[in-house]
C-alpha cells in the first residue's frame, strides 16, 4: 500500500465530479444507513436501494424517513432540508434500476461467490467508468474484484455502524485500483463529513483485525472467566465490553467467519473460539456496570486483552495494513476504544508492553510480536496531519469527533511541527486549516474545562502555558496563514487571529462563545484583535460581550480576513500565495496602548435570546479595558491570563461549563 499523496484528502485534486446517481445493493442494516449518509451530505443525488425482497426495501425506506423526521424533531435539520434528503430516493428489486448509476455500493451478505455474481451483473449494467465499491468487512478486494473487466474502478469502502453517523470509512488500497479512484473516494468522504482511512488489502483490513481478534480473545478467555467478568475488565479500554457489543450486533457468526478466514490465511492462532458455536447470546453487563473480579484474575484478563490489542497493532503497522496516525483514531471513533492501542502502549511504557507481549506470546503462540523497537510504532502526530503544498507546510487540525477542538496535545503538536520546519530553507511558511468542511476549530475542548475551575492562580498559569504556541506565532520568522474552512470558535479564532494573515471560505464564521460558558477567553481574544484591527473594536466588543457571530464576508470587509475563497482548493491556493507574499514581512501585533469605544452594558446581556452572566460581562469588559491600556503586548496578554483565572472561580463558569457538557441551556439567573 502506498501512502496517499496528501494526508488531508481535500488537498487532492480530482477530475471526476461528485456522484449523481448512486445505487446501494442490500437493504439490510448498513446499506440503507450508507444511503442516508450520502443523501444527507449530497441531497441532490438520486439514490436507489436494491434488494431481492420488497419488504426489506420498504422497511429500509421507512427507516430513512424515520431518521429524517427525528433530525427535524431534534432541530438538527430543517424541514425543507429533510424533504430534499428524502427526495430522489427509491427502492427496487430489479437490477435494471442500476441503469445510469455512476457509483454502485454493494452491502450484501458476506459471501464471496454471491458478491462476485453481483459484481458481474453490475458491470454488465453500468458504464465502464462507473465506480463500484463493496462494504465487505473482511473479504480482500483482490478476491472480490478478480473477475471484473475494469477492476481499476472498484475497491472496498468499509463503513462502521451506524454508517450515517460513524465518521470512519476504510478505503482499501489494492494494487489494481486506479490511484484516481482512491483519491476521488477519499476526497469525497472527507468533504462529506467522513474520516477516510486508507488501508491495505489484508483479510479484515485494519480495524476489523483489531475488533475481531479482540472479541475472539475475549471468547478464549471464557475458559477462565465469565463473559460479564471479561466485559467488566475490558471496560478499562472500551466504552462497551466485547460481549455486550456482540449481543448488540448479533456478531457471533461474523467473528467465526472472519477469524476462520484469518486462520486459513495466516495460521491456526486466529482460529475462532469453539464456544462461538454453542452460544447465541452472552450473559453480560451493560456499559458502566460491573461484576466482581478478583485482582489476580482481573490482571490476567487485562494482560490478555492488552496483549491481543498491541499484538494486532504492531502487526498492522509492520505489514503496512494501516498507518500509525490512523490506527488510534480509527479504533476510537469506529470501534469505541477509549484510547487507541498505540497511545495505550505509549502510556504503559516499553517495559510494561514488553512484559504483556511476552506473556501473550507464551499463552497464545503464533500471535504477531513487534519486529522493531517499540518507539518506531508511534506516530509523530496524533491530532494534526501534515502536508506539503509547494514549499509551504499545511497543518490540518484533525479531531473530527470534536469539530477539531483544541487541547494541549494538539497545540503542542502544531508547535512541534512549526519548530521542526522553521529553520528549513526549503520551507517558505505554514498554513493552518481544519479537517473537513464544517469547522476550522470549535474552540478549546470543553470536556477538559472542569479540571480548571476553582483555582485562579493555577488557571491563569495554565492559560500562560497554553499560550506558548500563540506567543511563538507572534515571533515566528516564517509566515503562518490561517485558512478558515469553516467555523472558528473561541480558542480556534484566537489561534487564527495570531496567524499573520487569515483567508476564509465564504461559509466560514467566527465567534467567541466563551461568555455563554461563563468564562473569558484565555488566549488573547481580549487583547489581540483590538491591537491588530483597531477600527473594528466595537465589533469585538459585541463578539466578547454577546458572543456575536461574524461571517467571513463581514470579517473581510473589516480587514480581519484578507481574502475570501469559494472552494477549499481556492482557499489553500490563496493561503499559499499569502505565505509567499508575506515572506520577509512579519506582521507583529502592536506593542502600544489602544483606545476603545464604550463597553456594552452587561446588566441585560443576552446571546441568542439567552440571558448571560452580568458578572462575566463586567469582568470581560474590565479585562479588555486594562489590556488596551497596557503598553506592551506581553503585559496586555498577562491581564487576559489573570482574568481567565478569575473567571474560572465564578459560579457562572461552573454553571456554563456543566450546562454544555450536560447538553442543556445554561441558567445564569442564579449565578449572577
Summarize as ranges the residues that interact with ligand DAK (CB under 6 A). Answer: 402-403, 405, 442-447, 462-463, 466, 487, 489-491, 513-514, 517, 521-523, 644
Comparing CB distances to ligand DAK, the nearer of 310 and 462 is 462
H, E, C per residue of 644-668: HHHHCCCHHHHHHHHHHHCCCCCCC
Comparing CB distances to ligand DAK, the nearer of 402 and 570 is 402
Pairing of strands 89-92, 46-50: parallel
Comparing CB distances to ligand DAK, the nearer of 242 and 490 is 490
Least Å distance, CB 419 to ligand DAK, is 20
Separation between Cα atoms, residue 26 and residue 106, nearest integer Å: 7
DSSP annotation of 450? G
Least Å distance, CB 415 to ligand DAK, is 14
Least Å distance, CB 112 to ligand DAK, is 36
Comparing CB distances to ligand DAK, the nearer of 48 and 525 is 525
Query: Crossing angle, helix 207-220 and helix 227-234, to 10 degrees?
Result: 140
Separation between Cα atoms, residue 146 and residue 395, nearest integer Å: 38
Comparing CB distances to ligand DAK, the nearer of 141 and 467 is 467
Cell of 267: 495460521
- Residue-wise over 439-449: b if at least 16 C-beta within 10 A, else e? bbbbbbbbeeb
Among 241, 291, 302, 246, residue whose Cα is nearest residue 273: 246
Least Å distance, CB 301 to ligand DAK, is 29
Least Å distance, CB 487 to ligand DAK, is 6
Comparing CB distances to ligand DAK, the nearer of 145 and 530 is 530
Cβ–Cβ under 8 Å, residues 34 and 159: yes
Least Å distance, CB 107 to ligand DAK, is 24
Half-sphere exposure (Cβ direction) of 233: Cα atoms closer than 13 Å:
24
Cβ–Cβ under 8 Å, residues 158 and 129: no
Pairing of strands 480-484, 429-434: parallel
Least Å distance, CB 89 to ligand DAK, is 23
Q: What Cα–Cα distance (Å) separates residue 400 from each residue in 197, 332, 442, 443?
A: 13, 12, 10, 13
Comparing CB distances to ligand DAK, the nearer of 259 and 433 is 433
Separation between Cα atoms, residue 69 and residue 78, nearest integer Å: 10
Comparing CB distances to ligand DAK, the nearer of 24 and 329 is 329
Least Å distance, CB 81 to ligand DAK, is 13
Least Å distance, CB 567 to ligand DAK, is 21
DSSP annotation of 603? T
Cell of 416: 512541534
Among 19, 28, 21, 25, residue whose Cα is nearest residue 121: 25
- Residue-wise over 58-92: b if at least 16 C-beta within 10 A, else e? eebbebbeebbeebbeeeebeeeebebbbeebebb
State which residue has the least CB distance to ligand DAK.
490
Comparing CB distances to ligand DAK, the nearer of 487 and 565 is 487
Among 44, 1, 37, residue whose Cα is nearest residue 19: 44
Comparing CB distances to ligand DAK, the nearer of 200 and 513 is 513
Least Å distance, CB 464 to ligand DAK, is 8
Amino acid at each position: 500500500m502506498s501512502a496517499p499523496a496528501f494526508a488531508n484528502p481535500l488537498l487532492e485534486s480530482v477530475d471526476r465530479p461528485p456522484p449523481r446517481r448512486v445505487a446501494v445493493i442490500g437493504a439490510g442494516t448498513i446499506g440503507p444507513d450508507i444511503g442516508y449518509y450520502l443523501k444527507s451530505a449530497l441531497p441532490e443525488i438520486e439514490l436507489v436501494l436494491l434488494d431481492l425482497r420488497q419488504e426489506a426495501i420498504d422497511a429500509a425506506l421507512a427507516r430513512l424517513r424515520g431518521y429524517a423526521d427525528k433530525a427535524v424533531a431534534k432541530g438538527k435539520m430543517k424541514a425543507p432540508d429533510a424533504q430534499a434528503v428524502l427526495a430522489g430516493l427509491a427502492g427496487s428489486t430489479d437490477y435494471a434500476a442500476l441503469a445510469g448509476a455512476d457509483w454502485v455500493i454493494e452491502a450484501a451478505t458476506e459471501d464471496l461467490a454471491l458478491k462476485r455474481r453481483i459484481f458481474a451483473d453490475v458491470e454488465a449494467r453500468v458504464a465502464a467508468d462507473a465506480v463500484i465499491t463493496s462494504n465487505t468487512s473482511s473479504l480482500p478486494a483482490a478476491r472480490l474484484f478478480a473477475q471484473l473487466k475494469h477492476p481499476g474502478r472498484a475497491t472496498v469502502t468499509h463503513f462502521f455502524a451506524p454508517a450515517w453517523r460513524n465518521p470512519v470509512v476504510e478505503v482499501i488500497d489494492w494494487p489494481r485500483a486506479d490511484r484516481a479512484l482512491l483519491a476521488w473516494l477519499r476526497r469525497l468522504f472527507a468533504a462529506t463529513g467522513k474520516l477516510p482511512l486508507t488501508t491495505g488489502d489484508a483479510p479484515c483490513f485494519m480495524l476489523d483485525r483489531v475488533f475481531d481478534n479482540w472479541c475472539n480473545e475475549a471468547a478464549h478467555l471464557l475458559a477462565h472467566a465469565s463473559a460479564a467478568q471479561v466485559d467488566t475488565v475490558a471496560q478499562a479500554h472500551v466504552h462497551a465490553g466485547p460481549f455486550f457489543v456482540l449481543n448488540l450486533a448479533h456478531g457471533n457468526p461474523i467473528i467465526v467467519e472472519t477469524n476462520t478466514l484469518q486462520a486459513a490465511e495466516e495460521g491456526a492462532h486466529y482460529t475462532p473460539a469453539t464456544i462461538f458455536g454453542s452460544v447465541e447470546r452472552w450473559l453480560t453487563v451493560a456499559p458502566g456496570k460491573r461484576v466482581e473480579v478478583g485482582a489476580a484474575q482481573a490482571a490476567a484478563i487485562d494482560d490478555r486483552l492488552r496483549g491481543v490489542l498491541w499484538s494486532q497493532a504492531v502487526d498492522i503497522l509492520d505489514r503496512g495494513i494501516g498507518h500509525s496516525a490512523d490506527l488510534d483514531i480509527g479504533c476510537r471513533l469506529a470501534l469505541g476504544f477509549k484510547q487507541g492501542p498505540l497511545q495505550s502502549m505509549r502510556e504503559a511504557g516499553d517495559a510494561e508492553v514488553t512484559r504483556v507481549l511476552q506473556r501473550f506470546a507464551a499463552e497464545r503462540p503464533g500471535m504477531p510480536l513487534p519486529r522493531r523497537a517499540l518507539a518506531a510504532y508511534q506516530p509523530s502526530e496524533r491530532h494534526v496531519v501534515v502536508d506539503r503544498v509547494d514549499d509551504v507546510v499545511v497543518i490540518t487540525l484533525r479531531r473530527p469527533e470534536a469539530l477539531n477542538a483544541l487541547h494541549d496535545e494538539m497545540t503542542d503538536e502544531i508547535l512541534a511541527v512549526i519548530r521542526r520546519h522553521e529553520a528549513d530553507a526549503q520551507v517558505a511558511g505554514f498554513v493552518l486549516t481544519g479537517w473537513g468542511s464544517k469547522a476550522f476549530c470549535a474552540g478549546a475542548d470543553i470536556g477538559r474545562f472542569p479540571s480548571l475551575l476553582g483555582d485562579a492562580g493555577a488557571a491563569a498559569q495554565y492559560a500562560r502555558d497554553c499560550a506558548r504556541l500563540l506567543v511563538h506565532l507572534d515571533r515566528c520568522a516564517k509566515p503562518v496563514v490561517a485558512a478558515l474552512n469553516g467555523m472558528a470558535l473561541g480558542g480556534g479564532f484566537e489561534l487564527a487571529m495570531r496567524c499573520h494573515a487569515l483567508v476564509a471560505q465564504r461559509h466560514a464564521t467566527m465567534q467567541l462563545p466563551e461568555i455563554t460558558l461563563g468564562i473569558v477567553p484565555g488566549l488573547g481574544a481580549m487583547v489581540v484583535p483590538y491591537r491588530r484591527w483597531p477600527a473594528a473594536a466595537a465589533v469585538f466588543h459585541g463578539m466578547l460581550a454577546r458572543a456575536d457571530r461574524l461571517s467571513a464576508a463581514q470579517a473581510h470587509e473589516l480587514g480581519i480576513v484578507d481574502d475570501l475563497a469559494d472552494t477549499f482548493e481556492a482557499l489553500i491556493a490563496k493561503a499559499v500565495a499569502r505565505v509567499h507574499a508575506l515572506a520577509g514581512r512579519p506582521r507583529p501585533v502592536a506593542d502600544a496602548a489602544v483606545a476603545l469605544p464604550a463597553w456594552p452594558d452587561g446588566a441585560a446581556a443576552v446571546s441568542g435570546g439567552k440571558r448571560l452572566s452580568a458578572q462575566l460581562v463586567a469582568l470581560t469588559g474590565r479585562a479588555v479595558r486594562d489590556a488596551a491600556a497596557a503598553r506592551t503586548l506581553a503585559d496586555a496578554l498577562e491581564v487576559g491570563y489573570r482574568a481567565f483565572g478569575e473567571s474560572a472561580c465564578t459560579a457562572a463558569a461552573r454553571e456554563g461549563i456543566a450546562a454544555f457538557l450536560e447538553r442543556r441551556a445554561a441558567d445564569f439567573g442564579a449565578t449572577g
